[in-house]
Amino acid sequence: MKRIWIFFLALFSIVNVYAQKFGYVDTDYVLNKMPEYKEAQQEIDKLSKGWQEEIKELSGKIESMYNELQAEEVLLTAEMKKDRLAEIKKREDELKAYQKKIFGFEGLFFLKKKELVKPVQDKVFDAIEKVCKDQRLAIMFDKAGDLVMIYTDPRHDYTDYVLDELGLGDPNDVIK
């Protein structure tokens, strides 16, 4: 975190020395205005709910195995109880592996989200690049990113320019 602040302080000092133009854009706002992003999000939500239901079902089966074991425990020999516990443990391990495969780092959920959202993000970044070139901006910040902006002068907000570049701007809005 300290390195990030040092980087931005150095960046701002360079900007001040050379008087470069800068601006910011709210990519979350832009993305939420895009129909293809909303469709991607709906698809991701649908997939996620399906996978969560599968996991919930598998978890329910494991829980019922525990309940059966508790109900029959007095009738089981030590060896039978050990075998059942081993089977339950095996199912729990399989469930954890499945959860990791779906929702873990680089899991199916992550990959599908990347597949669906990246083309939309690339479209936004291309529009931002064009706006930067058209407006002769040296630096463009993302208001939606990790950089905390305590104060922003609205004249440096280029979100509407990016929306216009994507064909999503308000035709009644005059931003120039």
**How crowded is residue 47: how many other Cβ atoms within 10 Å of its Cβ?**
16
pLDDT value at residue 61: 96
- Per DSSP, 174 falls in state -
Type and span of the H or E element at 25: strand 22-25
Nearest to 124 by CA among 43, 26, 24, 31: 31
pLDDT value at residue 13: 56
Chunked into runs of 10 residues, the chain (176 residues) has average pLDDT values of 54 56 88 94 96 96 95 91 95 96 93 93 90 85 72 75 85 63
What pTM, to 2 d.p., does this model score? 0.67
pLDDT value at residue 12: 58
